[in-house]
């Protein structure tokens, strides 16, 4: 018997894929648009970019942010409620991390795409 917990999705592959072909319907498109709306705010995008470098405490995120701690906390709460970041306790500190690899790659590609637009570096696949 496997020690792995059974998946709530019986058709899910045992090894997650980086890309899974889907036909987007209304529910999927609304969910994707919600994710993009969360990324469409510069402070949240900056926080997510920081978390793409690895898990961080609120203090670490505030030290890199260009906004006050209260603003960082408000944005982190929105990101947590939207399911884009996870939290865990480490003593008295809350550690934030990105929810999954898809989000990590989305953040990295978004920043790289913007870099190409600003610097004029040629696009590539």
pLDDT in tens, 17-43: 677 788 999 999 999 999 999 999 999
Q: Return the pLDDT at 5.
A: 46
**Residue ranges of domains in the chain:** 32-118
Q: Would you say the C-alpha torsion 51, 57, 36, 10 has a positive or negative sign?
A: positive
Query: Per-residue pLDDT for 103 more than 90?
Result: yes
Please indicate, yes or no, whether the overall pTM of this predicted structure exceeds 0.85.
no
Query: Per-residue pLDDT for 79 more than 50?
Result: yes
- CA-to-CA dists, residue 62 to 9, 56, 122, angstroms: 37, 10, 34
Assigned CATH for 32-118: 1.10.10.10
Q: What is the DSSP letter of 99?
A: S
User: What are 88's strand-pairing partners?
Assistant: 95
Q: Return the pLDDT at 15.
A: 64
Q: What average pLDDT is seen over the chain? A: 88
The separation between the first and the last C-alpha atoms of the chain, rounded to the nearest angstrom, is 43
Residue 87's contacts (CB-CB under 8 Å, 6 or more residues apart) are 80, 94, 95, 96, 97
Query: Rounded to whole angstroms, how far apart are CA atoms 125 and 114?
Result: 15
Q: Are 108 and 52 in contact (CB under 8 A)?
A: yes
């Amino acid at each position: 018997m496997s020690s792995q917990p059974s998946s709530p999705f019986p058709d899910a592959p045992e090894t997650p894929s980086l890309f899974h072909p889907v036909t987007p319907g209304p529910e999927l498109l609304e969910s994707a648009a919600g994710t993009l709306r969360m990324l469409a705010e510069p402070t949240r995008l900056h926080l997510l970019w920081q978390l793409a470098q690895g898990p961080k405490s609120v203090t670490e995120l505030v030290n890199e942010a260009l906004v006050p701690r209260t603003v960082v906390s408000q944005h982190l709460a929105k990101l947590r409620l939207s399911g884009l970041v996870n939290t865990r306790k480490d003593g008295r500190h809350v550690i934030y991390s990105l929810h999954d690899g898809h989000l990590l790659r989305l953040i990295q590609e978004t920043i790289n795409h913007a870099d190409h637009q600003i610097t004029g570096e040629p696009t590539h696949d």
